[in-house]
């Protein structure tokens, strides 16, 4: 079973790789089929790169061949030089040999012996440098044989001279045998020079041919690269012209769009101001009759107490109609209670509308905020409720930002109050406030709790006016989150919620790092 699970995991891990490879191949195939300016530029650059690689390869081959040619020429020159040194050494030996025969001086004999002693070494060097092919070995055999025959001829003459047969020795020298051997040796070395010279000439011709071919290839590659560079330049120039044309068109569209946005923003601003004024006026107009209703309700309550007293006195003197008793002691107090509860609720709603209206008219004042310190003060203000609910609040290091202090305090306060209010009494409560910097000049804060949670269908409606979610066993009118979202949007931010019913909620706030206002004090 474990092996089967491992095999399944391996197959599943390979699927994303295969899918990624398939996507790359599909994109390459689509890129190759579509005739676009980008594909033309890529193909031109690819051909230019290929030409450059061919030129570099041919140059590399030429350099290798030139190095090999230089090594061959150097080896052949060393072989020729070795042969000449060998011949010169043998001639020196012959000269010293003849000087000794003519004068009998020992210096000539010493010179002869030194030359003969060096001859074997010179022959070995010659054999090594002449090569191991058939021609080289043949030349080495001939030169070795003639050299040794010459040395043997001179040694025989010296033996005659030492035996006191000087005239026979001189006669042997005069016979010309030694000169014949030297001429044959010189001729053999001349053949070696001629053969080596032919090989050098042939190698030189091959090297020059390679150089000429490489020059032609480099020239053609250079011309091709220049042509392709010109094509790429024209393609890029056309692309830049198209980009400039599109940019100009986009600028024209943006100019019109900015004007449209400016006009619509002004219209929305005027409409918002009208709505705020309307809400303010309506609230005040509603409050006047509401005050009257509340006043007359108090008078009715006082009148009810008077009737209750009169009824009590009447019951002492005579029997009173039960319907009258019910009306005075039950119906009238119940009706007054309903009227009073309704007027109080209406008064709270009017006050909430007035609060939203005043908040929309208040000018924002940006300042640098220590959000961590601010949230800790808010947490201290609800510490009593936390103790009663057996809950704790954890506050992380929250990033600072430049924003309106009063608005941020109200937003954070509302969210933390809601988190405390809707904790689940079945488990210890925990509230966490986290924050981080977001790339692009934003900051993000989270207020998370393990409370009741919010049903998925209510994630959006909780931000609407006078709308609440779940059991209505906590006081409130459904205005807190609507006020929070309105304030967040006014500050240029956004608010979202992630929640699972019965597990908890996380409210996520996102604000610009720096609040930028226009000339009338509103967020740009």
Which long-range contacts (C-beta less than 8 Å, at least 24 apart) are formed by 157-160?
157/97, 157/101, 158/97, 158/100, 158/101, 158/112
Q: In terms of Cα–Cα distance, which of 443, 438, 430 is closest to 503?
A: 430
- Domain definitions of the chain by residue range: 1-34, 54-229, 283-358, 366-512
d(CA 48, CA 249): 34
Predicted pLDDT at 303: 77
Q: Which residues contact 301 (CB under 8 A, 6 or more apart)?
A: 336, 340
pLDDT tens digits, one per residue of 362-387: 678 899 999 999 999 999 988 888 88
Looking only at Cα atoms, what is the longest distance across the chain? Answer: 197
| β-strand pairing of 391-395 with 366-369 | unpaired
When pLDDT is averaged across residues 419-438 and rounded to a whole number, the result is 90
Using the predicted structure, report yes or no on whether residue 503 has a pLDDT greater than 80: yes
pLDDT tens digits, one per residue of 385-394: 888 888 899 9
When pLDDT is averaged across residues 9-15 and rounded to a whole number, the result is 53
Handedness of CA 84, 85, 86, 92 (dihedral sign): positive
* CATH number attached to the domain at 54-229: 1.20.120.1730
Using the predicted structure, report yes or no on whether residue 444 has a pLDDT greater than 90: yes
* Cβ neighbour number for residue 148 with a 10 Å cutoff: 14
Q: Which of 335-344, 367-376, 436-445, 493-502 has the lowest mean pLDDT?
A: 335-344
* Cβ neighbour number for residue 9 with a 10 Å cutoff: 10
3-state secondary structure of 107: helix
Q: How far is CA 81 from each of CA 67, 123, 188, 189, rounded to the nearest angstrom?
A: 21, 12, 14, 10
CATH 3.30.565.10 is held by the domain 366-512: yes
When pLDDT is averaged across residues 294-318 and rounded to a whole number, the result is 76
Q: Which of 180-194, 209-223, 373-387, 430-444 has the lowest mean pLDDT?
A: 209-223
pLDDT tens digits, one per residue of 341-352: 677 766 666 666
Q: How confident is the model at residue 471 (pLDDT cuts 50, 70, 90)?
A: low
Residue 387 · residue 422 · CB < 8 Å? no
Q: How confident is the model at residue 520 (pLDDT cuts 50, 70, 90)?
A: very low
Please indicate, yes or no, whether the overall pTM of this predicted structure exceeds 0.75: no
Average pLDDT value for the chain: 77
* Cβ neighbour number for residue 480 with a 10 Å cutoff: 20
d(CA 131, CA 136): 5
Predicted pLDDT at 343: 73
Percent of the chain with pLDDT over 70: 75
Q: How confident is the model at residue 27 (pLDDT cuts 50, 70, 90)?
A: low
Q: Which of 47-61, 86-100, 315-329, 498-512 has the lowest mean pLDDT?
A: 47-61
pLDDT tens digits, one per residue of 117-126: 888 888 788 7
d(CA 445, CA 448): 10
């Amino acid at each position: 079973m474990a092996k089967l699970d491992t095999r399944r995991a391996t197959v599943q891990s390979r699927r994303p790789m295969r899918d990624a490879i398939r996507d790359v191949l599909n994109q390459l195939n689509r890129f190759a089929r579509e005739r676009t300016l980008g594909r033309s530029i890529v193909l031109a650059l690819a051909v230019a790169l290929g030409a450059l690689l061919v030129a570099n390869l041919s140059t590399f081959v030429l350099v290798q061949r030139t190095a090999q040619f230089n090594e061959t020429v150097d080896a052949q020159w060393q072989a020729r030089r070795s042969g000449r040194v060998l011949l010169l050494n043998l001639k020196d030996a012959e000269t010293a040999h003849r000087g000794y025969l003519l004068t009998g001086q020992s210096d000539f004999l010493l010179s002869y012996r030194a030359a003969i002693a060096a001859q074997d070494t010179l022959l070995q060097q010659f054999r090594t440098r002449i090569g191991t092919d058939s021609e080289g070995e043949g030349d080495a055999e001939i030169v070795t044989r003639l050299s040794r025959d010459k040395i043997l001829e001179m040694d025989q003459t010296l033996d005659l001279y030492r035996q006191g047969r000087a005239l026979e020795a001189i006669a042997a020298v005069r016979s010309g045998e030694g000169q014949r051997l030297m001429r044959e040796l010189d001729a053999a070395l001349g053949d070696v020079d001629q053969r080596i010279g032919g090989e050098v000439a042939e190698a030189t011709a091959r090297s020059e041919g390679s150089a000429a071919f490489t020059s032609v290839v480099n020239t053609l590659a250079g011309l091709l690269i220049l042509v392709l560079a010109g094509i790429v330049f024209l393609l890029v120039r056309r692309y830049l012209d198209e980009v400039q044309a599109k940019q100009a068109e986009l600028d024209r569209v943006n100019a019109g769009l900015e004007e449209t946005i400016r006009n619509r923003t002004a219209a929305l601003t005027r409409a918002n101001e009208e709505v705020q004024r309307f809400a303010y006026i309506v609230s005040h107009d509603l409050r006047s009759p509401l005050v009257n209703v509340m006043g007359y309700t108090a008078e009715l309550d006082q009148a009810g107490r008077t009737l209750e007293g009169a009824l009590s006195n009447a019951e002492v003197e005579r029997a009173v109609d039960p319907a009258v008793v019910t009306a005075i002691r039950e119906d009238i107090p119940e009706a007054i209670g309903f009227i009073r509860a309704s007027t109080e609720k209406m008064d709270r709603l009017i006050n909430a509308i007035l609060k939203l209206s005043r908040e929309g008219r208040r000018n924002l004042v940006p300042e640098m905020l220590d959000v961590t310190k601010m949230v800790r003060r808010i947490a201290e203000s609800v510490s009593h409720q936390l103790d009663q609910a057996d809950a704790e609040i954890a506050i992380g290091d929250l990033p600072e930002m430049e924003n309106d202090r009063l608005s941020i305090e109200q937003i954070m306060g509302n969210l933390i109050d809601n988190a405390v209010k809707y904790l689940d009494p079945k488990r210890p409560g925990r509230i966490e406030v986290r924050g981080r910097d977001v790339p692009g000049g934003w900051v993000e804060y989270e207020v998370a709790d393990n409370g009741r949670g919010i049903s998925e269908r209510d994630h959006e409606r909780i931000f609407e006016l006078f709308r609440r979610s779940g059991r209505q066993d906590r006081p409130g009118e459904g205005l807190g989150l609507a006020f929070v979202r309105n304030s967040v949007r006014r500050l240029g931010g956004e608010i979202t919620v992630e929640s699972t019913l019965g597990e908890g909620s996380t409210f996520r706030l996102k604000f610009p790092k720096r609040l930028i206002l226009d000339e009338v004090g509103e967020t740009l």
